[in-house]
A and B are shown apart, each in its own frame.
Chain A
């Protein structure tokens, strides 16, 4: 009875480790195809919910990773924004594809903002944003308001970085959707906590010029 761990493998799979590895990767490929790997699934599937914890941990790692490279708080926000930008470009593409024949290209500022407020938010966070407002001071300035942003739900910003808002990631998503729809804008995230909604975040959309 000498066939314990290593010997069992070499006797069942002649050729040793490399053989073993390819066999196991084949097995996992077959298994993932059977389960339906993410690439096998239809893009049309509307309900694709993921674990909130896993998402929070991924965002946590992303922030830590970017923080190592960043030179300061403004730079970190900028990097988060750019990370979101890559996602926003794809999100717009995906939503448009899913809308199918009813999809249209928004040509009005209010139309695209409404689209972000409801469609983009619902796709990403499962509910529409809480408010959409126009600035009273600057007609080129709009605000999308989220009272409890999912991205920063578990993040407590330390006191010495008080002006940082990790929702800059979502601001990047908004910016990309606007840019890709040919509304050039700069989007920034600001914390405007109130006692009832301590996490309230305002996404400030500053358009270059209105068409």
Chain B
């Protein structure tokens, strides 16, 4: 049970935040994280286009035998990617809670520059505290 990893992507598909929770995940090269983010951003963009229905929100869930990947896109185009194990439920509320923390501790921080990597101590602290309650 639980959230394994969180990725936050800016409008252009650049990785602005990545954090693993727990130690079940193997560490990747920092370049690999950027590649994963870029690839998923493109796949997400493609799925919005190939959808048979107009105005599709694109890829939202990807399931594998060992984990699930959930994608939540905010109104402003920021994408939150949440890696969980397959039993995790209530992803919507987790995603909106993470979005909430992002808009509080990142967007209201005068030292954060839009679209740039997130280095906000309080965001890290409160995100960690929240994720530990989910698991």
Contact = CB atoms under 8 A, between A and B. Distances in A.
Contacts of B67: none
Interface stretch (A92-100, A136-144, A154-162, A178-186): A154-162
Contact of A154 (B104, B119, B125): B104
Nearest to B122: A156
B119 A56 contact: no
A39 B121 CA distance: 39
Nearest to B105: A154
Interface string A19-57: 000000000000000000000000000000000010011
Contacts, number: 39
Contacts of B52: none
B125 A60 contact: no
Contacts of B111: 63, 155-158, 161
A56 B125 contact: no
Interface in B107-135: 108-111, 119-123, 125
A126 interface: no
Interface in A50-108: 53, 56-57, 59-61, 63-64, 67
Nearest to A65: B110
Interface residues of A, number: 17
A198 interface: yes
A64 B110 contact: yes
B108 A60 contact: yes
Contacts of A57: 108
- Greatest chain B CB density within 10 A among A60, A61, A63 is at A60
B8 to A, nearest CB: 15
B119 A60 contact: no
Nearest to B123: A156
A53 B105 CA distance: 11
Given A60-B110, A63-B110, A161-B111, A156 B121 contact: yes
Nearest to A57: B108
A61 B123 CA distance: 19
Nearest to A64: B110
B98 to A, nearest CB: 16
Contacts of A63: 110-111
Given A53-B104, A56-B108, A60-B110, 18 more contacts: A56-B104, A60-B108, A63-B111, A154-B105, A154-B108, A154-B109, A154-B122, A155-B108, A155-B109, A155-B110, A155-B111, A155-B122, A156-B109, A156-B111, A156-B120, A158-B111, A161-B111, A166-B110
Interface of B: 104-105, 108-111, 119-123, 125
Q: Rank and list the top 9 A-B pairs by shortest CB-CB distance, nearest first.
A: A63-B110, A154-B108, A156-B120, A156-B121, A56-B108, A156-B122, A60-B110, A64-B110, A158-B111
